[in-house]
Amino acid sequence: MNTNACVNRRVQRRASLLPLAWQDRGSQRFLLLLFGITAFCTLSNGLLPEESFLYVDTYTITLLGKYLSYALLAMAVDVIWGYCGILSLGHGAFFALGAYAMGMYLMRQIGDRGVYGDKVLPDFMVFLNWQELPWFWYGFSSFPFAMLMVVLVPGLLAYGFAWMAFRSRVTGVYLSIMTQALTYALLLAFFRNEMGFGGNNGLTDFKDILGFDLQSQGVRLVLFVLSALVLALAYLLSRYILESKFGRVIVAVRDAESRARFVGYKTEDYKVWLFVYSAVLAGIAGALYVPQVGIINPGEFSPLNSIEIVVWVAVGGRGLLYGAVLGALIVNFAKTRFTALMPDAWLFILGFLFVAVTIALPKGVMGIFAAKAEKKSQKQASQ
Amino acid sequence: MRSRKNSVVVSCVLFMRMTLVFLVLTVMCASVFAEESIAGNEKNQTLAPQPELSAVLTSLSQANLSQMPNLISAMEKLGLESTDPDMHRIIMAIFQAQLAGNLYYRKNEKQLVVLRKLDSSYEVLDPLSQKVLAFETKGQLQKIRVNNRLRKNLNASLARMTLLSPDVGLRLQAVDQLMTHSTDENLSLLKRARSNETDSTVREKMNIALALAALDSTDLESKQQAIVTLAGSLEPLVKAKLEAKLAKDDQGHFVEPNKKLRAAMQQALTDIEFKRRVYAFIETLFFGLSLGSVLLLAAIGLSITFGVMGVINMAHGEMIMLGAYTTYVLQTLMPDAIGWALVLSIPAAFVVSALVGIGIERGIIRFLKGRPLETLLATFGLSLILQQAVRTVFSPLNRQVVSPQWMSGALHVNPVLSITYGRLYVIVFSFLIFVLLLFIMKRTVLGLYVMAVSQNRDMAKAMGIRTEWVDAMTFGLGSGIAGMAGVALSQLTNVGPNLGQAYIIDSFMVVVFGGVGNLWGTLVGGLGLGVVNKFLEPMVGAVLAKILVLVAIILFIQKRPRGLFPQKGRVVE
């Protein structure tokens, strides 16, 4: 009886992408909430007068846009940690690589409006006495090429890394430490001026994107809406992937990898492709982050940043996707608040969050809701 | 029940033994320190009355310029013939003062004094006793005049006196100086000094100085002999001179026309360059070992907590940091005895870090048993809290920890190789700790318990081992060792809140690279990575060397996931 229903649902789900999300309550609520908030903020910022009680100013819009790009990043981590049990402490690296690709495009858009007014070279290259553009900067003046790189660079790195790691069956804590070493190595590399990515200052002073002024209200609004849209699409796609047969194998790998392997699945292939997908999501998040924040520097590669992402996911509750989004929003909102009010206290709070969530709330905030819902259903069942 | 009691007794004995080892270590370090401080107290003895010298000094104040040279040579003679080393020193000091124009006499008493400029005022000293004398204005004093001829005399006298001074260090310096200014006068001086020289190093240096000069002579035989002497010398001047002799001048002729001599010189130069390369290699090796010993120190505590217990402690770096701050605190408490503070801070840092470690184990890690990824996150959070706590209590800025006298300075093996004591001690210290840890793990009851618990917890429990207690002790031991590493690091780098964070990734790399659960693997891993890093550095630069090493480890782990020395047997799963 029960299995029959399950099969029926699966058949329905495979039919199309959108109805799939409508099947479960969590997804419905999440997507509706995301849509509602985005629509409200957009309309309020675009239509209401500034004196209005409900007016959302452009600063907040940009801040929310930044949070949404973080949320996408957290979702990327949740895809592999929550569903496949791979704890990556280096996802900040993929995020930063996507961000750098976007930053390079924005840098080329400045053209001769830089401080030194050079037609081709960005300011920092003129400053370092470089004579011509390094080869890896070619093509970044074209937007489609840059977007391709946003996806390709993190994807290729992830593929290379994951292919080697999973093929030799590096798992668990070892893998986590390897990913951390990876982002640490990139941090050191990007700090070098000789690399040609602006050294420790990174890339900044962006002027416009696709010919539109980055500072203008309209562009900021569009970027915010775009972030929300990409987040929703990424959610649907991730859900689709994880509900598919591929996703079921992934969950099997998480719960009992050897068994899945004995049954005949090449588990490393599944893991590699999921890792690549997750890295690409992180790269896209980085590309959305840069135009809204206006700077990208090697600090994004620091191991601390990558580990913070994991905490967002842990706080929200892993293995649910929207839990990660919620966690990213909660923690970052708290961070913005506390670093302004009590800058010294933030690290205490963050550290405490790590400890408290892992010990007291292993399922995160969503875990509380889940427990309540379960109690309710138990009550109903006993009645 | 009985076995439990038994284990408590045994462990108490064990703890005492560990304390004993510490005491012995402390006393060893302390005795080194004490010797040094006695050696430092020897100077500034009072001088016996010198009637002859005082007579000459009085006449110096009344002499005119033409009488001066005689007086100077008389003083030089006094200094050279005297058996008292202080006499020698005082006369040289007077010459130096005269050269610098600081030698005066009092107008009314005709007493010779040395004027010394302080920040804004002056003070006068008695040249014999070095005591500060009463003095009002500069007007009371009359300068002893010097002209260029006298300066030349004074310089020559000084050179001769240093060359014949009873102090070996001074003599070496004098030869060095004469080597660069080889006039005929200096050479004859050197030759005379060589015949009296007793110290072999100084003598050798004199030989080289003379041989260098002989290269410029016209006599073929003496040239050949000089080349034989110079072959293999590491003095920078020798290499430069030989290269200059082998070069061609503007017209394209060789500076040295004789072909045979040129060949001999070429051979000598090749020898020198080979020797230099060997010593450069040794130096790089030393730097590599030094870096490696730092890595070893940072990682060795981790090889206990992570390697043996399997607990991922991301706050390990902060245990190191706490050790470094303990050193800083002890030093601020005992500003007069920096050396003692450092020695004391070794056990103190062990205790502080060990207690914090036990606290972490009892408070957090034991609730997360068997969930390594959660342990990783929780301890990382803890590291943030500890860092911020240190930032709040002390300061976000780096704290300066002073090195005691016996840690600074260097051992000069030869002109191209010198080994700093600080680094040398850290290498020795890291090996001592390694041996100590190896002893604890292989030869004590605690070590046995740790092995038993890590291999089969349930069986160990069934045999009456208090596994919880062993967990706490082991974690305390690993953390305490990290604290001791902090003491050593405080001598090499700045002490700041981020000190530990800088080492955490490296430490994990060392442990994973060496093979988890294997102390020898950690030793080889740490030293190997340090040496490889230092050999790469001159080729590609410091940062890129580090990146390359990191990437190499990442690739290596893919190839051999269990490190250099993998554990074998049932323990693996």
Nearest to A188 among B377, B384, B547 (CB): B547
Query: According to the model, what pLDDT value does residue B210 have?
Result: 82
**Per-residue confidence band for A295, with pLDDT thresholds at 50, 70 and 90:** very high
Q: Is the model's pLDDT at B249 over the cut of 80?
A: no
Query: According to the model, what pLDDT value does residue B235 have?
Result: 80
Quick one: B119 exposed, middle or buried, by C-beta within 10 A (0-12, 13-18, 19+)? exposed
Is the whole model's pTM more than 0.80, yes or no? Answer: no
Residue numbers in B near A191 (CB within 8 A): 543
Residues B444, B14: contact at Cβ < 8 Å? yes
Which region, left, alpha or beta, applies to residue B103 given φ > 0 means left and ψ of -120 to 50 means alpha?
A: beta
Cβ pair A358:B377 closer than 8 A:
yes
**Per-residue confidence band for A83, with pLDDT thresholds at 50, 70 and 90:** very high
CA distance A65 to A231: 11
Query: According to the model, what pLDDT value does residue B14 have?
Result: 53
Nearest to B557 among A170, A314, A350 (CB): A170
Percent with pLDDT over 90 in chain B: 25
Cβ pair A347:B388 closer than 8 A:
yes
Nearest to B378 among A165, A303, A358 (CB): A358
Which residue is closest to B396 within chain A, CA to CA?
A344
Cβ pair B551:A185 closer than 8 A:
yes
Cβ pair A350:B381 closer than 8 A:
yes
Residues B294, B530: contact at Cβ < 8 Å? yes
The candidate with the shortest Cα–Cα distance to A362, out of B367, B359, B311, is: B367
CA distance B238 to B222: 16
- What backbone phi and psi angles, to 5 degrees, belong to B491? -85, -15
Q: What confidence tens digit (pLDDT) does each residue in A216-271 have? A: 888 999 999 999 999 999 999 999 999 899 999 999 999 999 999 999 999 999 99
**Range in A186-200, B160-174, B444-458, B464-478 the model is least confident about:** B160-174
**Per-residue confidence band for A368, with pLDDT thresholds at 50, 70 and 90:** confident
The continuous run of DSSP H or E covering B204 comes out as: helix B200-214
**Per-residue confidence band for B27, with pLDDT thresholds at 50, 70 and 90:** low
Query: According to the model, what pLDDT value does residue B50 have?
Result: 67
Partners of residue B143 on adjacent β-strands? B104
Nearest to B385 among A164, A189, A348 (CB): A348
- Tell me which residue range forms the domain holding A378: 20-382
Cβ pair B558:A168 closer than 8 A:
yes
Token readout for A353 is: 């969050």
β-strands B103-106, B141-143 pairing:
antiparallel
Mean pLDDT of chain A: 88
**Per-residue confidence band for B433, with pLDDT thresholds at 50, 70 and 90:** very high
- The reply to whether A6 falls in a domain is no
Domain count along chain A: 1
Cβ pair B378:A173 closer than 8 A:
no
- The reply to whether A12 falls in a domain is no
Dihedral sign for Cα atoms in the order B73, B75, B76, B81: positive
Which residue is closest to A310 within chain B, CA to CA?
B377
Query: According to the model, what pLDDT value does residue B322 have?
Result: 95
Which residue is closest to B549 within chain A, CA to CA?
A185
Query: According to the model, what pLDDT value does residue B35 have?
Result: 45
**Per-residue confidence band for B96, with pLDDT thresholds at 50, 70 and 90:** confident
Residue numbers in B near A307 (CB within 8 A): 377, 380
Q: Best residue in B302, B314, B376, B395 to probe A by mutation, most A CBs within 10 Å?
A: B376
The candidate with the shortest Cα–Cα distance to B518, out of B552, B550, B484, B560, is: B560
Task: State the ipTM, two decimals.
Answer: 0.82
A345 to chain B nearest CA, in Å? 8
A163 to chain B nearest CA, in Å? 10
CA distance A211 to A42: 22
CA end-to-end span of chain B: 31
- The reply to whether A9 falls in a domain is no
Cβ pair B543:A188 closer than 8 A:
yes
Q: Is the model's pLDDT at B346 over the cut of 60?
A: yes
- What backbone phi and psi angles, to 5 degrees, belong to B520? -65, -35
Which residue is closest to B555 within chain A, CA to CA?
A164
Quick one: B156 exposed, middle or buried, by C-beta within 10 A (0-12, 13-18, 19+)? middle
Residue numbers in A near B372 (CB within 8 A): 172-173
Nearest to B373 among A161, A176, A181 (CB): A176
For range A64-71, the mean pLDDT: 95
B207 to chain A nearest CA, in Å? 49
- The reply to whether A116 falls in a domain is yes
Q: Is the model's pLDDT at B20 over the cut of 60?
A: no
- The reply to whether A272 falls in a domain is yes
- The reply to whether A7 falls in a domain is no
Which residue is closest to A360 within chain B, CA to CA?
B367
Q: Best residue in A77, A164, A177 to probe B by mutation, most B CBs within 10 Å?
A: A177
Query: According to the model, what pLDDT value does residue B18 have?
Result: 56
Which residue is closest to A311 within chain B, CA to CA?
B377
Residue numbers in A near B312 (CB within 8 A): 173
Residue numbers in B near A310 (CB within 8 A): 377
Query: According to the model, what pLDDT value does residue A21 have?
Result: 58
Which residue is closest to B384 within chain A, CA to CA?
A351
Domains in chain B, CATH or no CATH each: 2-31+278-567 (1.10.3470), 54-150 (no CATH), 170-257 (no CATH)
Query: According to the model, what pLDDT value does residue B22 have?
Result: 56
**Per-residue confidence band for B38, with pLDDT thresholds at 50, 70 and 90:** very low
Query: According to the model, what pLDDT value does residue B44 have?
Result: 45
Q: Best residue in B360, B371, B373, B553 to probe A by mutation, most A CBs within 10 Å?
A: B373
Q: What Å distances lie between residue B4 and B1, B7, B465, B466, B474, CA to CA?
A: 5, 5, 7, 7, 18
- The reply to whether A8 falls in a domain is no
Nearest to B377 among A181, A184, A314 (CB): A314
Q: Is the model's pLDDT at B372 over the cut of 90?
A: no
Residue B405, Cβ neighbours under 10 Å: how many? 15
Cβ pair A181:B558 closer than 8 A:
no
CA distance A41 to A62: 11
Helix axes A345-360, A303-316, angle to 10 degrees: 50
For range A55-83, the mean pLDDT: 93
Cβ pair B384:A358 closer than 8 A:
no
**Entry field: residues in chain A:** 383
A308 to chain B nearest CA, in Å? 9
Q: Is the model's pLDDT at A330 over the cut of 80?
A: yes
**Per-residue confidence band for B40, with pLDDT thresholds at 50, 70 and 90:** very low
Q: Under DSSP, is residue B142 helix (H, G, I), strand (E, B) or coil?
A: strand
Cβ pair B381:A182 closer than 8 A:
no
Mean pLDDT of chain B: 81
